[in-house]
Amino acid sequence: MSNSPTPEATPPSPPLPSHLQVVSAGALATLLAALAMLGPFSIDTYLPAFPAIQSSLQASPIEVQQTLTAYMLSFSVMTLWHGALSDAFGRRNVILVSLAVFAVASFGCASVHTIHYLWGFRILQGVSAGAGVVVGRAIIRDMYSGAPAERLLSLVTMIFSIAPAIAPILGGWIVSYFSWRSIFLLLFVYTLILFWACYKRLPESLPIEKRQPFSAEFLWKSYKMVFKSPLFHLKAGTIAFNFAGLFLYVSAAPAFITQHLKLGPDQFGWQFIPSVAGIFLGALAANRLAGRISVWKQVNIGFCFLIGASLFNVIYHAIWPAMLPWSVMPLFFYCFGMSLVAPGATLLVLDLFPTIRGIVASCQSAAVTMLGAVVAGMVAPALDHSSLTLAIGQLVFASLGMISWYSGRLYWRSMTNQKQNAWETVG
């Protein structure tokens, strides 16, 4: 028998904290989609409550409409900073702080007694609601690339699409049976649950050694580099204009549903269910097509749906009055095309500047929400008097999105040819 000492067993390594453990793609998609749902829940749920808010707070219709504009403007401005903050302080930390702020703002909205206080707390909601969308995209691109990243983005969209479908219906039910304040109390409870889930399960995808300095000089150079890029404006414009065509109908929903379609406040589902079904099925198609066809071809197919649906919408309302189901059917095909375009176009935007993806995601989201704020505050009130003008507005936005996409492709080819010619000259 050997007298050599028995080596001591190596003690097992302590488990990593939950926020450093890698979660499955499905769990991550569910968590990021739940974060992204804060946006539509903040907008679509309280749209049916506009008359009740107006009566309760003794406000004018335009003052109630401005609660949406205030939210959209603050949302768009702050999205410029969520990514920069996450590049410097970590993705997870920014999301947790934003959720805490949103919970306070939601409780405040439920407690107000004047329209001016509601504006203030809606601004606070807008400041914090965008973190999930912006930082979520950066998290996906930190952890995945290529077709897997596109699949995960489309999976997030599929899960997220549940929110715009149920939000206005839920809001209509709440207004019918309870006070409009219950809508914001529901948002408060949802945010608390989401904070707990993110604290327990959301991973930190950006290691400390890869974080960027949060300095005025670095931020100025980064934002300047992004906003001076014509490719960024063209690719981000593609997504922004496509979304504006949908958000025009979201902003005009109270008029479109109650005045043009002659429906009640509890029947907003007639507009939102076809839209969300299109988003869901378009995202499902994008998920299946990822890696099988090129991004360029997938986007081209998407624009066939976008432009085709918009043209049908204009032609129908130029001849006949608004009527179910024909007035809402184009929204299904429009949203289907939008969901085909969005994943590939989003990844192309994020890959323009790989070292500052958080800032790029912020700038892209800011472009979408800035345009959305303009649509909500100016375009929708100017066009919602007629179903035909709404259809024309949607066609214009879809056409601008298509022009941005193909202009970006031509510009990219021109840059590629110039670089190739330069290399040949040097050679």
Strand ranges (E), 209-367: none
CB 72 within 8 A of CB 195: no
DSSP code, position 48: G
| Domain 27-417: CATH architecture, name and number where available | Up-down Bundle (1.20)
Helix/strand/coil for 346 = helix
d(CA 332, CA 338): 10
CA atoms within 13 A on the CB side of 136: 27
Q: At what angle do helices 162-177 and 146-160 cross, to 10 degrees?
A: 20
Q: How many residues does the chain have?
A: 427
Question: Residues of the chain whose pLDDT is less than 50?
Answer: 1-2, 4-16, 18, 20
> CA-to-CA distance for 194 and 50, rounded, in angstroms?
27
Our separate counts of H helices and E strands in the chain read: 19, 0
| Residue 400: HSE in the Cβ half-sphere, 13 Å Cα cutoff | 17
Amino acid 13: pLDDT: 42
* Residue 323 to residue 193: CA distance in whole angstroms: 40
What b/e readout covers 400-425, taking b as 16+ CB neighbours within 10 angstroms? bbbebbebbbeeeeeeeeeeeeeeee
pLDDT of 21 reads 54
Prior bond of 381 cis (ω within 30°): no
Helix (H) or strand (E) holding 199: helix 181-201
Domain ranges of the chain: 27-417
pLDDT reported for residue 106 = 94
Position 308 scores a pLDDT of: 97
For residue 1, what pLDDT is reported? Answer: 47
3-state secondary structure 354-383: HHHHHHHHHHHHHHHHHHHHHHHHHHHHHH
Identify the pLDDT of residue 16. Answer: 45
CA 21 to chain centre: 26
What confidence score (pLDDT) does residue 294 get?
86
